[in-house]
Amino acid sequence: MPEPFRHLFQPLKLRHVTLKNRIVFGAHTANMSEAGLPGERHRAYYEERALGGAAMIVVEPVPVHRTAVLTRGNFKHSTDEIIPHFRKVTDAVHRHGTVICHQLYHVGQHGDFDNSYEPNWSPSGLPSFHDSDGSHAMREAEIEEIVAGFVEAARRARESGFDGVELFAAYHALIDQFWTPFSNRREDRWGGSLENRCRFSSEIMRRIRKMAGDDFIIGLAVNMEPSVKASLSMEQLQEIIAWHDDRALMDYVTCGTGSYFEFTGIIPNVFFADKLGVPYAEALKKVVKHARVQAESHIRTPENADYVIAAGQADMVSIVRGQIADPHLANKARDGRAGDIRPCLSCNQMCWGRRYRDYWISCLINPSAGREFEWGGDRFLPAHTPRKILVVGGGVAGLEAARVAAERGHQVTLIEASNRLGGQFHLAGLQPRRGQIGDFLDWYARQLEKLQVKVLLNTYFEPHDVEAFGADEVILATGSQPGGHGFQRFLPHFDKLPGVDRGNVWTAEEVMSRQARLGPRVIVLDEGANWKGGGTALHIAEAGHRVTVVTPAASVMMEMARTNADVQLRQRLRQLGAVLITEAAIREWHGDAADITVFGGKDMRIEADSLVLSTTNSADTALADALSATTVPYRMIGDAVAARTAVMAIYEGRKLAMNI
């Protein structure tokens, strides 16, 4: 039998250590500090990925100075108080043979006063691209203060047991601001020539090496975003990396995508191609003689990663979200079980989506992420007493409950009224660019089969069937149904949309399940400002209809701004000629036209052949209501409790099954 992913599982020498394979859990702000210190949440999160086989982990960044604080979850800067707490993290990760480095950061002009209560410091006083606040052009002594801040942070990392540090220059952070002529307009020894622009980074690196000695990794995180003219070009970045490499200043360089000027590319969503950062890593590999090169950004799978290593495009690969979604990705790939890897959806809903709102991060499809310390990781304890469990409903709540219960040794039967698994999430997976959801549902089907869960499709149980089944536990995951009434939050005095019964009205669910017969001109009511409305509108527009989207939000798919996918979705809709009407509600439907109220503006009438409603569903409680009249006990999860997103459905499915 051929060895799985032969190239990916070759060891790699990196300065004084040897990585057991090429898979890195790259730096990301998990935002998990408690009162500024790494606690149990943080330790268990990283230990789970070490246990899962990652060769190296780069722990989320610590700010190097008071002006570098960026998030509420940041660790305390400039204090040795963090050292004993980080020691627990590094010891735990080392126990599994995993190398651990610490990212050190300062984002310069792009800081956040709300969290630092300090002005942003930068080379030349340019504004922040987060909020357009101006920044303070550093004096010489202030530059020295920041250099010293990096070195002190590296000392703390060393004393905490880290094997090295990764200096954050990516996305136009402070180091990059010195390199880039656009943001470095200085005429002193820190600006102008290449050597002067590299002085800041090289001083940091030289002084860290002097402080730490030979047995300490110095990594460098950079990025490439060709669409931003003000940023470094690939040739300029190559020149800078070669300059540092000639002087053997860093041991590895990793190249991300996107930038603070083009944020969506940093954590690529479903609109981006796989292996996004690989061409840039490959370009850097051509100019280095000393440093290892890491590829990152949307590498996603061991198949992609193995290809990158085999083709010599990079020496190692960072897979961040892939290992948030499945902490055991590396070991499963190594053991020939790649089909068991729970595949990240590139949805950004609970990883970046939570960091964006300054919470600690988690994962839509792996709710144990961030909860490893209390939920015992992405592994489950065997049940005390195996029980006979009936799960009613094959949406993601039911699938997760059935999977986890079976993994714990229960005897599980799952019944589903329709002819396929996935429920609402299956329909979401039919929206443009969302095919990864289909892969995830296939993963569930494989897992249930392996775990010998009895799956009965096209099966509808009446209360007496449930009673006759004789389960020890009945889990109702019966989901929700579209109301079809067109209720809108901003016209709450109407129980239903006036005129909704006049015909030519469909639900988003009917559109995605191909039951709707739409005319050429379609209005989509995107009440939730989310994927259901936005993705359905895109599906209709791509099928050639003339689409008008009406939403009460300030932008179409605004609720998904946390995922960055909203930007591309709107761009794509506009390219297809769709009209986007925001901060508006539909006052009345006439069967062939809609009266639209724009809040604070003029009302308008838009003629259309069809109206598609993307509104909040209603929980399907029919079976629960009927069972309540019997003696059969049951528990409910997911949309059957209240119509929400897949996030809560999977969370509730796992939580319940862990506790039976």
Ligand X SMILES: Cc1cc2nc3c(=O)[nH]c(=O)nc-3n(C[C@H](O)[C@H](O)[C@H](O)COP(=O)(O)O)c2cc1C
Select from 216-224, 345-353, 444-452, 600-608 the region that touches ligand SF4 (CB under 6 A): 345-353
CB 42 to ligand SF4: min, Å: 17
Contacting ligand SF4 (CB under 6 A), which of 348, 488, 551, 645?
A: 348
Residue keyed to tokens 């996305």: 171
Which string of x and - marks every residue 214-253 that binds ligand X (by CB under 6 A)?
Answer: -------x--------------------------------
Q: Interface residues for ligand X in 51-70 (CB under 6 A)? A: 60-61
DSSP annotation string for 476-505 = E---EE---S---TTSTT-SS-TTGGGS-E
Structure tokens at 598: 């724009």
**Residue pointed to by tokens 């409680």:** 621
Does position 307 interact with ligand X (CB under 6 A)? The reply is: no
Report what 204 binds from ligand X, ligand SF4, none; CB cut-off 5-8 Å by kind: none
Task: Choose between 322 and 398: whose C-beta lies nearer to ligand X.
Answer: 322
Among ligand SF4, ligand X, none, residue 53 binds (CB under 5-8 Å by kind) = none
What tokens appear for 367 in the block? 């709710």
Q: Closest separation between CB of residue 58 and ligand X, Å?
A: 8
Q: Residue 364 interacts with ligand SF4 (CB under 6 A)?
A: yes
**One of 153, 198, 288, 363 touching ligand SF4 (CB under 6 A):** 363
Residue among 620, 372, 376, 334 at smallest CA distance from 476: 620
Q: What is the rounded CA–CA span in Å between residue 528 and residue 589?
A: 19
| C-beta closer to ligand SF4: residue 78 or 436 | 436
Residue whose entry in the numeric block shows the structure tokens 């319940």: 656
Binding mask 88-127 toward ligand X (x if CB under 6 A, else -) reads ---------------x------------------------
In this structure, the number of other CB atoms found within 10 A of the CB of residue 406 comes to 24
Shortest gap between Cβ of 328 and ligand SF4 (angstroms)? Answer: 14
In the list 299, 404, 406, 647, the residue contacting ligand X (rule: CB under 6 A) is 299
**b/e per residue, 382-396, with b = 16+ CB within 10 A?**
ebeeebebbbbbbbb
Instruction: Quote the CA–CA distance of 366 and 163 in Å, as a whole number.
Output: 29
Q: Is 32 in the site for ligand SF4 (CB under 6 A)?
A: no
Pairwise CA distance, residues 583 & 555, whole Å:
8
What is the spatial distance between Cα 649 and Cα 640, in angstroms, rounded to a whole number?
Answer: 9
By a kind-dependent CB cut-off of 5 to 8 A, residue 168 interacts, out of ligand X, ligand SF4, none, with ligand X
Which of residues 50, 345, 428, 637 is near ligand SF4 by CB under 6 A? Answer: 345
Closer residue to ligand SF4 (CB): 363 or 523: 363
Among 102, 298, 334, 572, binds ligand X (CB under 6 A): 298
Shortest reach from residue 146's CB to ligand X, in Å: 18
Minimum CB–partner distance for residue 476 and ligand X (Å): 34
How much of the chain is helix, strand and coil, in % rounded to 5?
35, 20, 45
Q: Applying CB under 6 A, which of residues 325, 396, 594, 649 lies at the interface with ligand SF4?
A: 325
Please give the Cα distance from 171 to 263 (Å, whole number): 8
Picked from ligand X, ligand SF4, none, the partner binding residue 349 (CB below 5 to 8 A depending on kind) is: ligand SF4
- 428 is a contact residue toward ligand SF4 (CB under 6 A): no
Is residue 104 within 8 A of residue 162, CB to CB? The reply is: no
Binding test (CB under 6 A) with ligand SF4, winner from 74, 349, 504, 530: 349
Please, what is the minimum distance in Å from the beta carbon of residue 563 to ligand SF4?
Answer: 8
Using CA atoms, how far apart are residues 357 and 362, in angstroms rounded to an integer?
Answer: 12
Nearest C-alpha neighbor of 523 from the set 605, 603, 459, 416: 605
Of the candidates 49, 55, 173, the one whose C-alpha atom is nearest the C-alpha of residue 104 is: 173
Asked if 111 contacts 138 with a C-beta cutoff of 8 angstroms, the reply is no
- Chain positions 122 to 181 lying near ligand X, rule: CB under 6 A, are 168, 170
Residues 493 and 226: their CA atoms lie apart, in Å, by 50
**DSSP β-bridge partners for residue 549:** 524, 580
CB of residue 656 vs ligand SF4: minimum separation in angstroms?
20
Q: Decide whether 108 or 370 has the Cβ nearer to ligand SF4.
A: 370
Residue closer to ligand X (CB basis): 266 or 623: 266
Contact of residue 299 among ligand X, ligand SF4, none (CB under 5-8 Å per partner type)? ligand X
CA atoms of 271 and 526, how far apart (whole Å) = 20
Residue 264: name the closest of 629, 564, 555, 5 by CA: 564
Interface with ligand SF4, residue 365, by CB under 6 A: yes
Confirm or reject binding of residue 399 to ligand SF4 (CB under 6 A).
no
Reduce the DSSP state of residue 273 to 3 states and report it. coil
* Structure tokens that stand for 151 in this block: 């070195």
Decide: is 324 part of the binding site for ligand SF4 (CB under 6 A).
yes
In the complex, what is the shortest distance from the CB of residue 303 to ligand SF4, in angstroms, rounded to a whole number? Answer: 17
Residue 347 to residue 298: CA distance in whole angstroms: 12
By the 10 Å C-beta count (0-12 exposed, 13-18 middle, 19+ buried), 561 is classed as middle
State in angstroms the smallest separation of the CB of 349 from ligand SF4: 5
Out of 294, 297, 480, 530, which residue is the one contacting ligand X (CB under 6 A)?
297
Name which of 320 and 417 has its Cβ closer to ligand X.
320
Residue-by-residue DSSP string for 539-599: HHHHTT-EEEEE-SSSSTTGGGGGGTHHHHHHHHHHHTT-EEE-SEEEEEE-SSEEEEEET
Measured from the CB atom, is 120 or 348 closer to ligand SF4?
Answer: 348
Could you tell me the two tokens for 639?
């949309």
391 phi/psi in degrees, rounded to 5: -110, 125
Total of residues contacting ligand X (CB under 6 A): 27
Residue 365 binding partner per list ligand X, ligand SF4, none, with a CB distance cut-off of 5 to 8 Å that depends on partner kind? ligand SF4
Shortest gap between Cβ of 430 and ligand SF4 (angstroms)? 18
List of residues 6+ apart from 540 with CB closer than 8 A: 511, 518, 522, 524, 547, 612
The site map against ligand SF4 for 263-302 (x = CB under 6 A) is ----------------------------------------
Binding positions for ligand SF4, rule: CB under 6 A: 321, 324-325, 344-351, 363-365
Binding site for ligand X (CB under 6 A): 26-29, 60-61, 103, 168, 170, 221, 256, 266-268, 296-299, 318-322, 351-352, 355, 361
